[in-house]
Structures are given as structure tokens and as C-alpha cells.
């Protein structure tokens, strides 16, 4: 039978039993949808995470008291770790030989920034660091200058503006050289940064940067901080990690044999942790989808068995005029695959659409997981073949004489 005739016959078979066919298709759609929507959403997150990592320095080592990515609650030994202080950061900088560009990373508070009659919302982060912060975090100066060592050493009241702050305060003026105020103190603008974007609605540009020594004088320095260290080259990341680990164990007086009381992460380790997380999501989505597809496959087998029963006389006629068992098997297998692929296409369209709502929510580009789409087509082909074999075999074994007598 010509493939076009087979497809027409399959469509007519579906149309003749609308309710039964709709329920079967619904099960197929739900199965494929559950797989595709989960893989699409995870692919969006994965793409977003990679874009986020590109905003950070690839050769930067991050030091923190607790893990950067936390799964579940922290254990008591992690919660009870002593703080990483500015003194720790300064001693680390003095003792390093491989690592370069140490920068403290601390948000001292969220404040309202003022310039003349303009003011921001009271949600601008006042961040304290040094001259290495911009390069360690891949920020570019749009104009003005970076901090100097003297700015940091003498705790000068100078400030570098994130793009969001500049857009609010200086709509019609040139910012560099102007004096702004926050938390009761004046600061001279020495630089403005290029826009960097946002993640999960959290802007990378809604902050002001002041020397950490200035921030300590204004807000106090008795606090836990993060530290960033840059490797001289990307190939020296592991050497830098080893050096930093050794220095911090000495500085923080960690006894030999004891675990580190701090965390060190790089883009590679963060990517590994995120890959493990997304891998678990992929597996969960596939497991749910496969269970649903198993039920859908049984439903497909049922509808095809009913179809064989309803078309017994037709099968008898076809055999009487010379149709072979192979032709009968091919016809029913093709019809089964057609039903599965129809449900698969609908499920994939819905899954990709709903999965990309995640992209809208976190404001990133949409993703079409090509490998999932290809896998969906192949998967539905396999489901159709597996669950269509028995009905097709049963149809091919019918006796033509008995079939012609069938009422």
C-alpha cells in the first residue's frame, strides 16, 4: 500500500473513534510534553548559567566561608566556621607568589544615592573592594579611572558608579568629577562602568564601588567577606588554588589532617556543581516522561487492537485480493507510528513553548533543545514500533475466509 494511502487510513481510523483516539493522543502528548518541557527548562537554565559564567573572570579563584552553591541545609561544622576577614585578605595578598590581583568582595549595605535633586531607590549596593575588583569581575570602565593604591591605602572618599546608578542620577550631566552623597558622606565620582546586565532580575549594575578601607571606616570592618584572586594565566588555575589553599590553612591555623574551614571555587568547579544539579533534573524529567509514555504506549496498543477488530472484514478483503502478511504488518505499524508521531509533535510544540517561559521569567534568550526534539521523534518511533508489533502481527495472522465472514 502506498504510504499516502496508509497515512489517510490512519487518519480515518483516528477520526472514526474520536473519544478513544483523543484519550490515547492525550496520554502521548502528556508523556512527550513532560520530557520536553523539563529538558527545555533545564537547557534554558544551563545556557543562562554559561552566559553568567562568561560575565565573570575565567581565571579567577573565589574564596568564601561557605559553599558558593548550596544543596540543602549546611552542616554545623560549616555554619560554625570563623569569618574570613579583611586582615585575612591582606595577609593572603602579602604571601602569594603565583596568584595575582587579590580583591576583597563585600557588600556593606544597600543605600539611597543622591546627587542634587536626583536620588535612587534605597536598594543600591555599596560594595567595598580595591583596584583589582573590576578586572576580576570583567567590568569595563566606560569613562574615568579605576582606584589607585593610594585611594585604597588612605581610604579616600572616591566612588565608581554602576550603569544603573549613573542612568538615574546623571540623565543630563557628565558624572566624572561630580560629588554624590550616601549614608551622610560625600564621595567624588572617578569612574563609570559599562552595563553588564542582570540575572534572575538581579542587576549587575545597581551598585557603587568604594575602596574597602573607606567602607571599613564608614560601616565597620568586623564582618565576613569573600576574596577573589586571579591566576597569572588560565593554565595556572590549579597552581593558584593550591597556593591559596596552603596559605589560608596557615593563616587560619588549620591543623594538618583537618578539613579546610573555607571554600575555594572556580568557574570550572561551579560548572561541575551546576552540571550535577541539571543532570538530576534531566533524569527526573526523563523518568516521569518514560512512565507516562509506557501508559500511553499501552493505550496505543489498545486502540490498534480495537482497530484490528473493527477492520477484520477489510483485512479479509485485502488478503483475498493478494495482500501479503508483510503488507498488512507494514500498514498497521505505519498507522501506529503515525499516531505516536502526531502525539509527539503536539507534545514537543507545547513542551518547548512552556519550557521557554523560564527564559521569559529570567529574561534570557529562548532555547530549542535540538537533541531533545530529535530524541522525541526517535522515541515516538520506537514506542510506535514496540507497541504496534502485536496488533500488526495479529492482523497479519487473520484467516482471510473467516475474516470475510466477520460481522
Taking only the tens place, the pLDDT of each residue in 59-118 is 888 999 988 766 656 777 788 889 999 999 999 999 999 988 999 999 999 999 999 989
Range of the domain at 170: 82-261
178 and 205 in a single domain? The answer is yes
Residue 57, in any domain of the structure: no
Whether residue 163 contacts residue 196, with contact meaning beta carbons closer than 8 Å, is answered with: yes
44 and 117 in a single domain? The answer is no
Q: Residue 161's pLDDT is what?
A: 96
Domain stop point among 238, 261, 284: 261
Whether residue 239 contacts residue 231, with contact meaning beta carbons closer than 8 Å, is answered with: yes
| Model confidence band, residue 338 (pLDDT cutoffs 50, 70, 90) | confident
Q: Residue 57's pLDDT is what?
A: 58
Residue 216, in any domain of the structure: yes
Q: Which of 404, 378, 397 is nearest to 305 (CA)?
A: 397
Whether residue 119 contacts residue 112, with contact meaning beta carbons closer than 8 Å, is answered with: yes
Domain count, the chain: 2
pLDDT in tens, 136-185: 888 999 999 999 999 999 999 999 999 999 999 998 899 999 999 999 99
The larger pLDDT score, comparing residue 371 to residue 156, is at 156
243 and 340 in a single domain? The answer is no
Show the cell assigned to 40. Answer: 527545555
Reported pTM = 0.65
Kindly state the helix (H) or strand (E) to which residue 195 belongs, with its residue range.
none
Q: Residue 10's pLDDT is what?
A: 64
Whether residue 166 contacts residue 192, with contact meaning beta carbons closer than 8 Å, is answered with: yes
Residue 158, in any domain of the structure: yes
Task: Give dist(CA 349, CA 351) in Å, integer.
Answer: 6
Mean pLDDT of the chain: 83
Amino acid at each position: 500500500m502506498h504510504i499516502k494511502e496508509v497515512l489517510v487510513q490512519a487518519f480515518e481510523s483516528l477520526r472514526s473513534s474520536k473519544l478513544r483516539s483523543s484519550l490515547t493522543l492525550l496520554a502521548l502528548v502528556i508523556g512527550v510534553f513532560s520530557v520536553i518541557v523539563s529538558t527545555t527548562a533545564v537547557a534554558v537554565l544551563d545556557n543562562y548559567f554559561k552566559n553568567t559564567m562568561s560575565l565573570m573572570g575565567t581565571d579567577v579563584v573565589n574564596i568564601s566561608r561557605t559553599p558558593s552553591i548550596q544543596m540543602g541545609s549546611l552542616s554545623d561544622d560549616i555554619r560554625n566556621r570563623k569569618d574570613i576577614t579583611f586582615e585575612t585578605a591582606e595577609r593572603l595578598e602579602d604571601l602569594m607568589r603565583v596568584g595575582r590581583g587579590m580583591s576583597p568582595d563585600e557588600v556593606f549595605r544597600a543605600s539611597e544615592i543622591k546627587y542634587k535633586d536626583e536620588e535612587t531607590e534605597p536598594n543600591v549596593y555599596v560594595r567595598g573592594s580595591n583596584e583589582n575588583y573590576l578586572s576580576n569581575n570583567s567590568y569595563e570602565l566606560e569613562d574615568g579611572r579605576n582606584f589607585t593604591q593610594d585611594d585604597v591605602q588612605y581610604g579616600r572618599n572616591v566612588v565608581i558608579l554602576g550603569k544603573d546608578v549613573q542612568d538615574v542620577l546623571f540623565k543630563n550631566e557628565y558624572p566624572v568629577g561630580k560629588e554624590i552623597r550616601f549614608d551622610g558622606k560625600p564621595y567624588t565620582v572617578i569612574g563609570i562602568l559599562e552595563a553588564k546586565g542582570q540575572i534572575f532580575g538581579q542587576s549587575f549594575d545597581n551598585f557603587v564601588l568604594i575602596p574597602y578601607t573607606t567602607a571599613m571606616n564608614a560601616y565597620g570592618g568586623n564582618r565576613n567577606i569573600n576574596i577573589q584572586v586571579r591566576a597569572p594565566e588560565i593554565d595556572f588555575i590549579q597552581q593558584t588554588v593550591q597556593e591559596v589553599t596552603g596559605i589560608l590553612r596557615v593563616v587560619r591555623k588549620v591543623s594538618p589532617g583537618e578539613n579546610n574551614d573555607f571554600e575555594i571555587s572556580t568557574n570550572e568547579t561551579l560548572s561541575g556543581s551546576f552540571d550535577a544539579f541539571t543532570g538530576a533534573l534531566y533524569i527526573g524529567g526523563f523518568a516521569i516522561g518514560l512512565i507516562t509514555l509506557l501508559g500511553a504506549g499501552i493505550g496505543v496498543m489498545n486502540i490498534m487492537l480495537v482497530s484490528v477488530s473493527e477492520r477484520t472484514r477489510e483485512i479479509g478483503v485485502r488478503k483475498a485480493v493478494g495482500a501479503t502478511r508483510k503488507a498488512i504488518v507494514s500498514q498497521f505499524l505505519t498507522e501506529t507510528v503515525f499516531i505516536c508521531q502526531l502525539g509527539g509533535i503536539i507534545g514537543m510544540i507545547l513542551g518547548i513553548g512552556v519550557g521557554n517561559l523560564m527564559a521569559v521569567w529570567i529574561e534570557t534568550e529562548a532555547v530549542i533543545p535540538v537533541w531533545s526534539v530529535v530524541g522525541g521523534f526517535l522515541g515516538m518511533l520506537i514506542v510506535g514500533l514496540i507497541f504496534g508489533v502485536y496488533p500488526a502481527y495479529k492482523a497479519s495472522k487473520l484467516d482471510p475466509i473467516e475474516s470475510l465472514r466477520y460481522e
